Amino acid sequence: MDIFKFIKKVQENRVIQESLEFPTNFTWGTATAAFQIEGHPDEYREKLSDWAEWLDEPEKVKSPNGAGLAVKHYEKLEEDLTLINDLGAAAYRFSFNWAALHRGPDDFHEETLAFYERLLGGLKVKPFATLVHFVLPNWLAKEGGWENPNTACEFNNFVKFLLENFGEKIQHWITFNEPNIFLGFGYESGIWPPGKTNDLNGYFKAYQGMLTAHELAYKSIKEFNPSHQVGFSQNMYYFQSYQESQEGKLGDVNKPKIKPETTTNTSHISPYKRRVDLDLVPAMIRDQLHNYSFIESCLDMGSLDFLGVNYYTRFIYKFSTQAKDPANPDLDSLLWGQLQNTPESQHNSLGWEIYPEGLYKVLSSEKFKKLLGDKPIFITENGYSHIESSPEDKDLEDSYRIAFIKSHLESIHRAIQENVNIQGYFYWSLIDNFEWALGMEPRFGLIHVDHETYNRTPKASYHYYSDICKTNQVI
Ligand code: BGC
């Protein structure tokens, strides 16, 4: 099905369903991350971060990469603040630029601090602060990054510095954005720094380092003010085995299927027979590794006040002998297999399947509900990307993004009706930005940025989302 049929489907649904009311106090917001928008004047020039250095290798980042300027948020802060405040959302999720703020042991940068004072001073909405959104200060990356236990200690010094300066202004702290994506791209596929391929040893060392860092930060923040709320944001896919997706079943990898025997003459065999689905076990392993392990570790340590869920797509697992890494075929195919699509799949411009049902499935699965219990959940990211393929193809009348938002909010609303404690939604992203290895072309924003002039223009979806934020209803 193409995207326009999808939009039509959503519109038809709109006629049937009047409007969806969200709970009072539901927090509406948008999200960004420092490296993706700022273009900090020193960062790229002085190679302050691992990503600033990574940009210099043209085969690693799709052009144009904007020479590290992203969308010049650093320069255009006041204009962006007006757009954030005028949207009508109650919250804004941003990330601190650790690399620009913390330039060596005990070396904190006053000018960058002043930038964040202006940001937090000018915000009229509640800040949700992310402390690490993938990027590392280069002086720490060069010493092994998260694999080196010293990084967690320096991170804790950074957290204390932020608490001294902003501890009175920020109540919600997100220690890490998507540790699973960082580890997967940094240590399995190697497409992001530190660029290691199928390095399981490094993967688990870094995992441990990040977990320690989360724990230290949790304690420091709670010591500063016990009522502050600390969590992290996890990228969650809806994992499904290929066979389940082909059968059109709403397969749940947490519940292996048992199918009644259909033959009539069955007296000699068990009435139930396990369906042979070779893709189910790897999908379950992936679900555990990708979605759940870090959450469980934080819960075991008693250091999670809320969970941030970032949801983009479904992952249909199919075992593949066509491994991405020919040097290591077994590991690669076992861990990832191949992302498949079904004939009905609709996609965004990056080929990611649009599958709102998957968000509902993740949030309402028995495993998720049992683990999280009544803990608050915030959807800290969810968004649609468009690539402008010609000068006429401007991403301004973005009905596809509107349909995307509406359909995902319906899934969230459905989960809330089933008593999942979802307290907020942050659209990714406030503004078009730098999409990591994919460069500047994919646009996720509610606000359009002209890459030549850096002019900002709110898209149709900005106004649509603004209405939702102001009325607490989805129409
Ligand atoms: C990341 C964002 C990214 C978005 C779209 C999320 O995994 O947190 O930084 O831009 O996905 O790819």
* Residue 434, domain CATH: 3.20.20.80
Residue 91: closest CA among 382, 423, 359: 423
**Measuring from atom 7 of ligand 1, which residue has the nearest CA?**
235
Mutate which of 313, 428, 434, 440 for ligand 1 pocket (most atoms within 8 A of beta carbon):
428
Q: Please tell me the distance from the alpha carbon of residue 464 to that of residue 288, in angstroms, as a whole number.
A: 36
Specify if 331 maps to a domain: no
For 44, 134, 163, 180, the CA distances from 54, given in Å and listed in that order, are 10, 13, 30, 20
- Residue ranges for the chain with pLDDT beneath 70: 1-4, 6-7, 9-17, 248-275, 320-340
pLDDT of residue 328: 56
Q: Please tell me the distance from the alpha carbon of residue 236 to that of residue 223, in angstroms, as a whole number.
A: 30
Specify if 43 maps to a domain: yes
Ligand 1 site, CB within 6 A: 33, 36, 177-178, 181, 235, 310, 381, 428, 435
Q: Record the tokens describing residue 132, joined without a space.
A: 């690490």
Q: Record the tokens describing residue 26, joined without a space.
A: 């539901």
pLDDT of residue 450: 96
Q: Please tell me the distance from the alpha carbon of residue 7 to that of residue 56, in angstroms, as a whole number.
A: 39
pLDDT of residue 242: 85
For the CA of 428, the closest atom of ligand 1 is 4
Q: Please tell me the distance from the alpha carbon of residue 114 to that of residue 318, in angstroms, as a whole number.
A: 50
Host domain of residue 168 = 3-240+285-320+341-474
pLDDT of residue 336: 59
Specify if 187 maps to a domain: yes
Specify if 113 maps to a domain: yes
> What is the total count of domains within the chain?
1
Specify if 9 maps to a domain: yes
How far, in Å, from the CA of 201 to the mean position of ligand 1? 25
How far, in Å, from the CA of 429 to the mean position of ligand 1? 9
Spatial neighbors of 231 by CB under 8 A, at least 6 apart, are 172, 173, 174, 175, 304, 305, 306, 307, 308, 378
Specify if 333 maps to a domain: no
Active site residues: 178, 381
Specify if 280 maps to a domain: no
CA atoms within 13 A on the CB side of 344: 7
How far, in Å, from the CA of 308 to the mean position of ligand 1? 13
pLDDT of residue 282: 81
Total residue length of the chain? 475
Tokens 């930005």 correspond to 433
Specify if 412 maps to a domain: yes
Tokens 């109650």 correspond to 90
